[in-house]
Structure 1
Amino acid sequence: MPPLILQVALPSPLRRLFDYQAPEGVAHEQLRVGQRVRVPFGRRSMIGVIAGLSEHTEVPSGKLKPAEALIDTAPLLPASMWKLCLWTARYYQHGLGDTLNVALPVLLRQGEPALARQDRLWQLLPGAYPEHPAIQRAPKQKQAVQVLAQHPHGLSHALISQWGLNRVALEALEEKGLVQRIEQSPHHVAEPLPLLRQAPLTANDEQQAALDAILGKTGFNAWLLEGVTGSGKTEVYLQAIEQCLRSGHQALVLIPEIGLTPQTLERFQQRFSAPVVILHSGLNDRERLDAWIAAREGEAGIVIGTRSAIFTPLARPGLIIVDEEHDLSYKQQEGLRYNARDLAVYRAHLEDVAIILGSATPSLESLHNVEQGRYQLLRLSQRAGNAKPPSFQCLDIRSRPLEGGLSRPLTLLIGDHLNKGNQVLVFINRRGFAPTLMCHDCGWIAECKRCDARMTVHQSPAHLHCHHCNSQRPLDKHCPKCQGTDLRPLGAGTERTEEYLNERFPDFPVLRIDRESMSRKKAMQQMMETIQSAQPCILVGTQMLAKGHHFPDVTLVAILDADGGLFSADFRGPERMAQMITQVAGRAGRAEKPGQVIIQTHMAEHPLLIELTEQGYAAIAKRELAERAVSQLPPYRFMALLRAEANNAYAANQFLEEALQQAEQLVAQHQLDEIDLLGPVPSPMERRAGRYRAQLLLQAAQRSTLHQVVHLLLPILEQHPESRRVRWSIDIDPLDMF
C-alpha cells in the first residue's frame, strides 16, 4: 500500500493546503478528514486540520515531512459543519486553514484535547447518615453528612466552603466509605425537569399566526419576522424554541452585541429549565471551549452567541434564530470577512432546519429575498399588550443655542418627563467629551498624526483619542500653529452631554452607556439592573442603547443629531440612518406609558426625515429598494472590494493598478460579461494608523461571474512581487466601503 499523504489546512493567509506524511506509528485507518494534527512548519510546530487524504503529492519525497502527532481520534466537527467551513472559505475567497482557525475555539487551535472541564462533586454513599457510629466524635464530618443529605445528586467542590464544609472532613468521610467523589459535566442534568420554569405569555393573533406558520412546516424554511419594536418578537422566538426542545432538538440564537447577552440569557433561563450556554468574545478561553463542547455533545439545549457562534456545532440542530438581522455587527470586518447572518441561512439549509431572521428594520437584502421568494415574510404590526407606538417630532435647532448638545426646548421636556416619574433616553452617536479640540484664535483643529481624522476629546481621564487607530496623547495646552492658549472642545459627545445633564438635573441619576463606560466586566448588567428599578433617570449613550433593550419606563427618546446620515457618501447611508432612528425610537413607550420621540435636526424639511417620521421604516425601505434597482446597486448587483494599504500611497495604488490590469485580462480572456471594475481610488479615509489605503471595486450582475473573476485573480496576486510590499485583502459582499 502506498504511503498516505495528509493534506493539512494550516492557519496561514495562503489559500492552499500543505502535504505531510502520516505521523509515525499511526495506521491509515486511524486517519480521517477533520482530525487535528501537529506538524512542523518552518522552525516551529503548528496545529492543523486534515482536509484531505491522498496517495499522491507534488512535493519531492526528500522534502516531504511527517506530521508530528495525531491529536484527535475522530473528526472535531460534524459533517454539516465541515461543509459549512468549506463553503465559507470558498465563498469568501479565504484560506481554509484560516477559516477553520476562526471557527474553532482558541484552546483547540493550540492543540488542547476537545474535552470540557468536569465538575467535581461530593456525594453520600448508601448507608451514610448523620448518626453513623464512625462520625459520632467528629462534628465537622457529621455536619458534612447533614449537608450532603440535602444534595442527593452531589455538591460541587466549588460550593463546599459556602456550606461551611472543608475538604479535610470530606476526605476523612471518603476514607470511611461514607462519601465519594464523582466527576461530571457542569451541564449534566441529574433528573428530567419540567421544560418550562415559567408559562409562556398568551400570543396575540399576529404572534399566533407567525408561530403557526413556523411550526406548521418541517425542514429548511427561512422566515423573516418583521415586527415593530415592542411587538413581541422575542416571545415568538421563545415559543418556537419550546417546540424545538420538546422534539429533542437544540436551538442556536445569534444576537448582535455582547451587551445584549445578560438580558437575553436571563430571559431564556427564566423560561426554560434546559441548560443554556453563551458564546462570545467576553469569555475566557476555557469558558468558551466548555460551552462549545456542551453544544457539540448535545448537553446544552440552547446556545446563545454573537457573530462567531455561527460556527458552534450542535448534536441535534433544530432551529436557528438571528435577532436584529439587519445589524452590521454580524459582518466581520477583518481577516475572514464573513457575514454571520448569511452563513446562518446557509447552515440552516445544510442542516435542513428552520431559520428565523427577526428585526423591526429588516435589511434591504432580506426584503429583496422575500421579493424573490427565498424568504417568507411574517409581520407583527402591533405592540404587545396595550403599548402604543411613540409620537415623532423633528425639532429644528437652526439658530438655537445648544448646551451639551441639547436645545432649551428639549431640556425643558426632559425635566417634564423626569418630574412625572419617568425615564429619558438621550441618544448621541459620538463617544468622548467632544468630537475635536479647536484653537479659538486661528482655527487649528487637533488631528491624528497617523490618520486622516480628528482626535476626540475625552475628559475622564483628560486626553485626545483617535477612535480609528486607538492612538492617544495628552490634551494640548498651546496651539501648535499660533501658540495661543484658547483651546476649546468643539461639539458634544456622550461625556459632555452627561456632564451637562448632571448639572441641569442634579436630583436624577445620569447613566452613560458607551464603549468606555461599559468596558468593565458586568458593567452593562449592573447598569441594566439600575434601569429596571423603574426609578426616574436619564440614559445617555451611543448605538449600544439602540439594540434590542427593553426599557419599560422610558417615555422620552431624544436623538441629538440625526443629520449625519442624510449626507453620507455611502449608498447605504439612508438605510442605516432610518434603521438607527427607528431602533432608538423603539425604546420609548414600551409598556402602558405613551412614548415620545424628539429628533434634533438642522434639516427638519428633509424628505427622508419627513417620510420616516410620517410613514415609517417600511416606506423608506420600499423607496430605497426601487432606487437600488434603478442604480444597479446591491442587492440587485454583486460586489467585491479589493483593498490595499502600504507605507506610502504610491505602493498601494500601484498594486491595485496591477490588479486592475490582471482583472481586465481575465475578463477578456474568459469572455465574462457585465463585470465593472471601478478604481483604484484612495479609500474615503486614505491614511489610517500610519498607512495609506486604496481600493478597487468589482461589480457583476451575476454572483457566479463575480466569484469566477475573483477566484482566478487572487492566485495571480499572491504570486505578484508587489504583494509582499503591501497588505491586501478581498471583501466579498462588503457592507463598509470605507
Structure 2
Amino acid sequence: MTSRSNSSSSKRPLANARLGPGQSFAAGVEVVVPGPTDALSYGVPAGLVDKIQVGCRVRVPLRGRLHVGMIWRIAAVDELDCPAAKLRPIDDILDDSPLFTDDLLACLDFAARYYHSPQGMALSLALPGALRHTEVQGDAAPIRTRWLVARIDGLERPTDLRATERRVLDQVLAKGELEVSALRRFVDPLTGAIKRISVPHKTLESMAERGLIRLWEQRVRRDPLGMRSPVDRDNPPDLTSEQSQALERLLAFSKAELYRTAVLRGVTGSGKTEVYLHLIAHCLEVGKTALVLVPEIALTPQLVYRFRARFGDRVAALHSQMSQGERFDQLSRVLSKDACIVIGPRSALFAPLSNLGVIVLDECHDGSFKQQTSLRYHARDLAMVRAQAAGAICVLGSATPNCEEMALVERGRAHGLYMHHRVGDRRLPEAFTVDLRVAERLPDPFDERRLSLVSVALKDNLQGVLTRGEQAIILHNRRGFAVTVVCSSCGEAVDCPHCDISLTYHQRQRRLRCHYCDYSQDPDTSCRACGGRNFMRLGAGTERIEETLREFLPSARVERFDRDTANGQRMVETLDRFRAGEIDILVGTQMLAKGHDFPRVTLVGVLLAETGLRMPHFRASEQTFQLITQVAGRAGRGDKPGQVYVQTYAPEHPAIRFALAQDHDAFVEHEMKRRSLSAYPPFGYLALLEVRHKRLEQAMAGARVLAEHLRHFEANVLGPVQAGVSKLKGIYRVHIQLRAKERSELHGQIRWVQTHLESKLPTGSRLFIDVDPVDFA
C-alpha cells in the first residue's frame, strides 16, 4: 500500500487551529468524498503543495469533521468554483503515490455523469470502507499481524530462568519456530487436555533482549477463498481451430495497444475461458494487467482456482461479501503489484489495477452485471469506458449475448468473434419438451390432493442417471418450500407487512419469510384477516422439489443450491462436493445456470420454464431464452452426451422453442424485429424514474407531477404505474418510463427533471433514476 498515515479516524473532530478559511494557498484541488456530494474545492497549504497528485487520498474538513476523500483535479486557486477567501485547507495527504489510476478515475467520472449521480456516490463504488476509515476494529482492521518466536541456534540454556521462561524456552527449542498464540496453549501430558497459560508479552520481549529467543511481528493476509492453499499447476492445452482464430484476432487487438471491444460468442462448452487464459498470458508477458468479471459470486472460487493453476499467486479476488479486512488485503496485493489479475463480480470492475491490458466480462449477457441499488450502473458499459480510457481491449463473452451486445457488432462498435462447436467435438445436449398440459406427473408427497412439478418422464430419466453413476441438475427459479400460504377459511394470502409480496414458507426453518426485506414470522400465526389458523401451502420452491426427489429417488444424494443454502464457504463446499461426485442431483435456482463446468452432468431438467415470461418487462423473453440455453449447456460437457428436459405450459413460445433448438441467431432475429416495432433497446433508449414515499397516494401524486410536465415538453412517457412490487420495506414505489430515440435526448430530459421538477415532489418523496434499466419490478 502507499498509505502514509494509519492512525487517525476518517471522521475525527476538527483541529480548529488548522482550518481557518481565507488562507493564502499556492494551489487548489477538487476533492470527492464518498457519499451524496460532488467534488468540493479546497486549498493546498504550502507544505503539501509538492505532494499533491490526482488519485491520492486526502483528509479534508467537511461538516465539522475530517473525512477521507480523493483528489479529483488539481487547479490554480482562481480556477476553482469556490472563492479563494472561502477555501479551507486540506488537512493531510494520505498516500505517497496515486491510489487510483487515470483510467479508473475517468470511469468513475463517466459513471457519475451518465447515471446522473453525485461523484461521491461513484467514488463509493471504488473506495471500500477499509480505505475510507483508519480506525476500524476486528476483521475490518486494515492490517492484521501475528507475533512469532524462534530458537537461537547454539544457545546455552541459562540456569536462572523463571518458570514461565523455562516453559517458553522448552517449547521454542522443541519446535524451532511457532506463533506466540501457540505458546499460550499446551497439551497436558497426563490428561491430553489443552490448557492455557499466561505468557506476558513483556516476558517475551525481555527474553529476546537477553538473546534467548527471536521475536518478531509478521503481517497476515486474510484468505477468503483459500488462495494460499496449494494448487496443481496446469499446462495450457492445444486450442481448437475456432479458439485459435478468436485468440489470433484478440492478440492482434492487444498488440496494437488501442482500445477495442470484442463480443466473443461461443456455444456452451466451446472453451471461451481457455481463450481468456491465453489472452491474459500474453498481457502479462508484456507487463500488462487483467480484470475478469463474472456474474455471480458463486463463480468466483471456481475461476480463481483455474486461474491460479495457470498463473500462480498473481491472482487476486474481490467481491462484496468479503469483510473490509479481506478486501483491504486483496487491494494491498493489487497496489503492491503482487497480483496482476483481479477476478470478481461487477464490483471488481473498480479494482485499482495499473497498466490495464484487458477486461473480460464472462457471461456478459447476465442481468446481475447491472447494479440495482444506489448508483445503478451497468458493469458492461463501464468496462468499455474504462478499457477505452486505458487503451485496453474489452472482451464480452457469452453463449447468448443479448440484443444490445449483438447490436454493438452490427453497428461497428464491437468486433464479432464466433465459436460454433464444443471442445473435442462434443455434441450439444439433446433437448426434449415436456408439455405439462398433458404430461403425466408424480403426485405431491406432501399433499395427496395435488400433483408435483416433477413429470414421470423426468423422474425416469433421473433414475437412469443414477443407474449409470452420472449426475443431474434440476433448475427451478423459486426458493423455499411453498411459494404462497393461503388461509383455508377466507382465502387471504399471508403477505409481508412491509412489502407488497406473499411470504414464502421455508420448511427446514419452519418460518414464513419475505425474500425482499427478510421479515419472518411463525407459520402458525393466526390469519390477519379472519383469525383462522388453518393454511394451505401452495406452489413449490427448490426446497419442496429437493424433498420430492428424495421421496421418489430414495437412493439419490440430493442437495440444494440457492441463496438459502449457498452462501460463503458453504457455497464453495457444495460446488466442490458436486464436482467430486459426492452429490447425484443438485437442485437450484439460476445460480446454477451460469458458467459452471461439471463433466459428470449428463441430464438437466428445467421445471416451469415459462416462469420468467410472466415478468412485466420487454426483456422477459430474452432472459428466458438465455436461462434455458445456459442451464442446458451444463449437460454433456464431459465424455458422455447430455440431455435436457424442459417442462413447460408454453412449449410454443418462441423463447422456449429457440432455446430448445440452441438457435441464438434465430432468436436474436425474432427479438430484434419485435423490439424495433416499439423502439425498445437497441432501437431506442430508456430510463426508469422511481418516486418513493411512505404513503402510496403521495408517491403517485409526485409521479403524476413528473409525467405531466414531461408530456408538456413532448417527452415520450409511460406511466405512472405502481412498481411490480409496489411496497418495499415499508416504502411505496411508483414508476415512470422515459423513452427517447437518441441518447442525448434522454439525458437532456433527465437533467431537466433533476433541475426543475425534483423540487416539486411532495415533502418526504425521493426520486431514483435508473438509466438503461434491466429490472422493472
Q: CA deviation at 1:41?
A: 3.3
* Matched letter for residue 110 of structure 1: H
Is the 1:296–1:313 Cα contact (8 Å) retained in structure 2?
yes
Of 697-706 and 329-338, the range deviating more from structure 2: 697-706
Residues 1:544 and 2:591 aligned together: yes
State whether structure 2 residue 69 is matched by structure 1 residue 48: yes
Q: Secondary structure at the match of 2:598?
A: coil
Deviation at 1:512, TM superposition (A): 0.5
Give runs of aligned pairs for residues 205-354 of structure 1, distance below 5 A.
205-217=241-253, 218=255, 219=257, 220-354=259-393
- Distance change (3 Å), C-alpha of 1:615 and 1:67: closer
Is residue 468 of structure 1 aligned with residue 520 of structure 2? no
Residue 682 of structure 1 corresponds to 722
Is 1:737 matched up with 2:776?
yes
In the TM superposition, what whole-angstrom CA distance separates every residue of 1:282-310 from its partner, at most 9, and x where no partner exists? 21111212212321332202111111111
Which one of 673, 681, 685 corresponds to residue 638 of structure 1? 685
* 3-state SS of paired residue (1:434): coil
Cα distance between partner residues in 1 of 2:277 and 2:630: 21
Deviations 1:196-227 (A, max 9, x none): 93210111111111111111232222121111
Q: Distance in 1 between matches of 2:285 and 2:156?
A: 47
Picking from 25, 30, 36, the partner of 1:7 is 30
Task: Quickly say closer, same or farther: Cα 1:371–1:156, change in 2 above 3 A.
Answer: farther
Query: 1:157, 1:368 → 2: CA distance?
Result: 61
Match of 1:92 among 115, 118, 122: 115
**Structure 2 contact 361–380 (Cα < 8 Å) conserved:** yes
Please say if residues 436 and 456 of structure 1, whose CA atoms lie closer than 8 Å, have aligned partners that are also in contact: yes
Contact 2:506/2:512 (CA < 8 Å) preserved in 1? Answer: yes
Is the 1:101–1:109 contact (alpha carbons within 8 Å) kept by the matching residues of 2?
no
Paired residue type of 1:18: L
Residues 537-616 of structure 1 mapped to structure 2, 5 A cutoff? 537-614=584-661, 616=663
Which of 289-298 and 709-718 deviates more? Answer: 709-718
Q: Structure 1, residues 548-581: CA drift from partner, whole Å, max 9, x if none?
A: 1111111111111112233432110110000000
Residue of structure 2 in register with 1:522 after alignment: 569
Q: 1:224-247: per-residue Cα shift (whole Å, max 9, x none)?
A: 111111111111111111112222
Please give the secondary structure, in 2, of the residue aligned with 1:406. strand
What residue number does 2:39 align with?
A: 17
2:35 partner amino acid: S
Q: 2:495 aligns with which of 425, 442, 447?
A: 447
With over 3 angstroms needed to count, the CA separation of the structure-2 counterparts of 1:123 and 1:631, relative to structure 1, is: same
With structure 2 as the length reference, what TM-score do the two structures score?
0.83
1:391-438 alpha-carbon deviations (Å, 9 max, x no partner): 111111225445342122322221122122111211110000011012
Alpha-carbon deviations, 1:114-147, whole Å to 9, x = none?
Answer: 99748779799xxx996x46579977556566x7
Contact 1:2–1:55 (Cα < 8 Å) also in 2: no
SS of match in other structure, 2:479: coil
Instruction: Letter of the 1:197 partner, please give it.
Output: R
What code does the residue aligned with 2:689 have?
L
Q: CA deviation at 1:446?
A: 1.7
Question: Larger deviation: 491-500 or 215-224?
Answer: 215-224
In the alignment of these two chains, the number of paired residues is 707
Matched residues in 1 for 2:590 and 2:209: separation? Answer: 55
Name 2:472's counterpart in structure 1.
Answer: 424
Confirm or deny: 8 A CA contact 1:307 1:340 kept in the other structure: yes
2:457 is the alignment partner of 1:415: no
Q: Could you tell me the percent identity over the aligned residues?
A: 36
- 1:393 paired with 2:429, answer no
Secondary structure at 1:437 match in 2: strand
How far apart, CA to CA, are the structure 2 residues paired with 1:721 and 1:608? 43
Deviation at 1:22, TM superposition (A): 4.3
Partner of 2:235: 199
Change (3 A) 1:482 1:446: same
Structure 2, gaps ≥5 residues long: 1-22, 160-168, 188-198, 223-230, 445-451
- In the superposition, relative to structure 1, how do residues 570 and 159 fare at CA in structure 2: closer, same or farther (>3 Å)? farther
Matched letter for residue 38 of structure 1: R
Q: Contact conserved, 2:624 with 2:655, CA < 8 A, in 1?
A: no
The alignment yields a C-alpha RMSD, in angstroms, of 3.4
Match of 1:107 in 2: 130
Q: What's the offset of the Cα at 1:332?
A: 0.6
Partner of 2:454, secondary structure, is coil
Q: Is the 8 A contact 1:115 1:290 kept in 2?
A: no
Whether the 8 Å contact between 2:128 and 2:324 is mirrored in structure 1 is yes
CA contact 1:297–1:314 (8 Å) conserved in 2:
no
**2:52 paired with 1:31:** yes
The SS at the match of 2:423 is: coil
CA distance in 2, matches of 1:417, 1:558: 12
Q: Please name the residue that 2:751 is paired with.
A: 711
Q: Which moved more, 1:403-412 or 1:66-75?
A: 66-75
Classify the secondary structure of the residue corresponding to 1:238. Answer: helix
The amino acid across from 1:698 in the alignment is: L
Q: Contact (CA 8 Å) 1:144, 1:169: kept in 2 or not?
A: no
Question: Per-residue displacement from partner, 1:454-476 (whole Å, max 9, x unpaired)?
Answer: 11111121121121232222114
Q: AA paired with 1:693?
A: R
Q: CA 1:246–1:120 in structure 2 vs 1: closer, same or farther (change >3 Å)?
A: farther
Question: In structure 2, how many angstroms separate the alpha carbons of the residues matched to 1:659 and 1:460?
Answer: 46
- Residue 338 of structure 1 deviates from its aligned partner by 0.7
Separation of aligned partners in 2, 1:384 and 1:58:
59
Code of the aligned partner of 1:55: V
Structure 1 runs not aligned, ≥5 long: 148-154, 188-194, 669-674
Query: For residues 310 and 39 of structure 2, what CA distance do their matches in structure 1 show?
Result: 46
- Is contact 1:77-1:313 (8 Å) kept? yes
Indicate the larger mover: 105-114 or 226-235: 105-114
- Worse-matched range after superposition: 576-585 or 175-184: 175-184
* Aligned mates of 2:36, 2:344 — CA distance in 1: 26
Select 2:764's aligned residue among 710, 720, 725. 725
Distance verdict in 2 for CA 1:440–1:118, change over 3 Å: closer
- Alpha carbons of 1:22 and 1:278: their partners in 2 closer, same or farther (altered >3 Å)? same
* Alpha-carbon offset, residue 64 of structure 1: 5.4
Distance 1:210 1:731 in 2: 35
Aligned with 1:262: secondary structure?
helix
Mapped partners of 2:121, 2:76: distance in 1: 22
Matches within 5 A, 1:597-676: 597-614=644-661, 616-663=663-710, 667=713, 675-676=715-716
Amino acid at match of 1:80: D
**Alpha-carbon offset, residue 173 of structure 1:** 7.5
- Residue in structure 2 matched with residue 367 of structure 1 by the alignment: 406
Aligned equivalents of 2:755, 2:233: Cα separation in 1: 55
- With over 3 angstroms needed to count, the CA separation of the structure-2 counterparts of 1:144 and 1:136, relative to structure 1, is farther
Shift of the 352–59 alpha-carbon distance from structure 1 to 2, 3 Å rule, reads closer
CA distance in 2, matches of 1:17, 1:229: 45
- Confirm whether residue 79 of structure 1 aligns to residue 106 of structure 2: no
Does the residue aligned with 2:312 lie in a helix, a strand or coil? coil
Provide the secondary structure at the position in 1 that maps to 2:333. helix
Distance 1:354 1:160, change over 3 A: farther
Scaled by the length of structure 1, the TM-score of the pair is: 0.87
Structure 2 letter corresponding to 1:583: Q
CA displacement 1:640-678 (0-9 Å, x = unmatched): 11111101222222323333355456x57xxxxxx4233
State the AA in 2 paired with 1:737.
F
Contact 2:35/2:124 (<8 A) preserved:
no
- Residue type at the aligned position of 1:589: G
* Cα-to-partner distance string for 1:516-565 (whole Å, 9 max, x where unaligned): 1113x311111122112225611111111111111111111111111223
Where 1:216 maps in the other structure, the secondary structure is helix
The 1:196–1:625 alpha-carbon spacing in structure 2 relative to 1, beyond 3 Å, is: farther
Shift of 1:615: 5.1
Change in 2 beyond 3 A, CA 1:566/1:285: closer
